[in-house]
Structure formats: C-alpha cells, structure tokens
Chains A and B, each alone.
Chain A
Amino acid sequence: MAKIKGSIVINIDRCKGCEVCMVTCPTGTIAMAKEVNKQGYYYAFPAHPDLCIGCASCAIVCPDGVITVYKTKI
C-alpha cells in the first residue's frame, strides 16, 4: 500500500510561537524550539519530520501563515 508522506517548511522569522500548530498536529510532528527567533519567540519546528503526513492542518490553523506543506505518495 502506498504511504503518504509529508514535509513542512516553517519560516521561523514570522513565527510567534503561539503553539496552536503543535496542539493541532494529529501526529505530533511539531514541537517548540528551545531557542528564540529574531522576534524573541520560541518558534515551532518539525521535531519528528518522519511522522508528517502532509495533512496541512498546521498550515491552515497557523495565524501567521508561516507554514508551507508538501505531500507525496511513496
């Protein structure tokens, strides 16, 4: 059976660290970084990139539109 794999790109300069994407992600791909971006926020990053299924829930709910989502079948 074909597996669906996804990948996200997060523009960390725009991220405000609201954590909404982290709680929305159904697979727990996203976590918050231990360091801050240039605005001083703990930004979101794909901590477990292999779990991503490319559902785009994070990108749809992200208030600042910082996430770009790619999806492919392998």
Chain B
Amino acid sequence: MAEVTGIKEYIKPENLVYTRTKLMTENVLHYCPGCGHSTAHRILAEVIDEEGLQSETIGVCPVGCSVFLYNYIDVDVQEAAHGRAPAVATAVKRLMPDKFVFTYQGDGDLAAIGTAETIHSCNRGENILIIFINNGIYGMTGGQMAPTTLEGMKTATCPYGRDVKLMGYPLKITEIVATLPGTYYVTRQSVHTPANVRKTKKAIKKAVQYQKLNKGTCFIEIVSNCPSGWKMTPVQANKWMEENMFAKYPLGDIKTPVE
C-alpha cells in the first residue's frame, strides 16, 4: 500500500481519530471520483459495525451503479431484479424476522422501474430500511433522464432540458411514501459536506434502531451527485447540487415517529 503521511511523530494508535471501517473491504470502489454512493456505502457500513449487526444484516442491492455493493460491504447481500429490491427484502424479512434487512437503491431503480414495489412495500409497512440515492439521472447507463430529473435539466435523452409539458414533472417519491401509513421514519439527507455526512449517519443509525421496534418501513433518501452524468467536476457537481437539487428536494425529516 503506497501512502503519504503528515507529521510522523503524531501517528500513534492512541491518537487515532478516524479510519475506514473494517466492514468496508479492500476492493477499490468502482464509482467515479467524488460519487456520493461511495460515502453512503461507507457510513452505512460504519453504522452496521457500530451497532454490531454484521452477522445479523442482509442487504438487497439493486440494478444501477450500486449493483456491486456486495463487493464493498462485508455483509450478506442478495441481488434483486431491476426495481424489485423491496419485494425481495419483504420475502427475506418475513422468512427471517430476526435479521436486519435493508435495500439500497438508486432513483432509476426505486422511482421508475420499481415504483409499484416501493409504494406497496411501504404501504404494507414491511420492517425494512430503504436507502434511496437520488441523483436525478440514470448514472450507470450513460446519463439518461430519470423520473427525478429536474425541470430544465439536460441529460442524454432530453438534450434541450426536461420539458414538463412533454416529459412530466420531477417525482418526489419520498413525499409520496411519507403519506402512507406503513412508513415509520422518512427523511431526506445528503453526503457532500462533513456536517451532512454526520447528519445522514445519525439518520441511518436512528432508522436501524427503529427497525428493532418492528414498527414499519424506514425510508432514507440521500440526495447525491453524479459528476460524470452531469458532466461536471465533483466539486462543481456538489455546488450545483446545493443550488438546484436542494431547492426541489429540501433536506430534513419528512415523517418522524409520533411518541
């Protein structure tokens, strides 16, 4: 392992503040530089590690950029057909009620192909945690328009910008599932600054603890970037996300449990 270090005399095990969690494998992540998926993977792994749930966790991964999640997080993972992760997770949870079951899906997977599965599993109140990465684009297939693409945003399949008269309005699926009685905790976060990463980690931790109560579906949307799909550098993409995505998708808790 090649590495560069700062001042060597401070590097002692007792001074350690932060290192990558052991639950992340040694494989180099295949995501593009600056992609929010990588950060989301890492904080999810950190929470599972801190809660001591490594052997109790079963993940369900989607089709999309995050399809290789099982290469990076050292837990049991089941692959699902495109959009069907909540349906697979329902079966896993019902057969093994003691396990912690999560799905990890992108916007093309959860909000387009899997809309029915998402809405119905949330409506049934399945005890699963759904992590939804929203970057407003189909990243893996080359940057096509997704249901969550912003009005006027340019993608490969709407090169003149999304025209709402022709292509419809951006879908706010998180607000939709928050209206369903089956959901217990619904929140929207992001992972582009240290403060937001900390907040997202807290939200995931809360959701994992709520799962132990068996009260219903927990749904966490993470507004993320797609530097390659948006054709920007990672730093520009984060800035663009703050200016445009957060206006349409405001951060914060949407549904919190009533005491």
Binding site for B on A (CB under 8 A): 5-14, 16-20, 23-24, 29, 33, 37-39, 41, 43, 45-46, 49-50, 52, 54, 56-57, 59-72
Contacts and interface: CB of A to CB of B under 8 A. Distances in A.
B192 A61 contact: yes
Interface of B: 1-8, 10-12, 15-21, 24, 28-29, 31-39, 42, 191-194, 197-198, 227, 233-235, 238
8 contacts: A9-B4, A20-B34, A54-B17, A63-B29, A64-B28, A64-B38, A65-B21, A71-B10
Contacts of B235: 18-20, 23
A9 B17 contact: no
Contacts of A65: 20-21, 24, 38, 42
Contact of B6 (A19, A46, A61): A46
Given A19-B235, A61-B39, A52 B6 contact: yes
A8 B6 contact: yes
Contacts of B19: 59, 68-69
A64 B29 contact: yes
Given A19-B235, A20-B34, A71-B15, A13 B194 contact: no
Contact of B36 (A7, A63, A72): A63
Given A60-B197, A61-B194, A65-B42, A12 B17 contact: no
Given A13-B1, A16-B32, A63-B34, 18 more contacts: A7-B6, A7-B8, A10-B4, A12-B4, A13-B2, A20-B192, A46-B4, A46-B5, A61-B192, A62-B39, A63-B33, A63-B35, A64-B28, A66-B20, A69-B17, A70-B11, A70-B16, A72-B10
A39 to B, nearest CB: 7
A33 B24 CA distance: 26
A60 B68 CA distance: 22
Given A6-B6, A11-B1, A57 B33 contact: no
A48 to B, nearest CB: 9
Contacts of A16: 32-34
A10 B198 contact: no
Contacts of A13: 1-2, 28
A64 B31 CA distance: 9
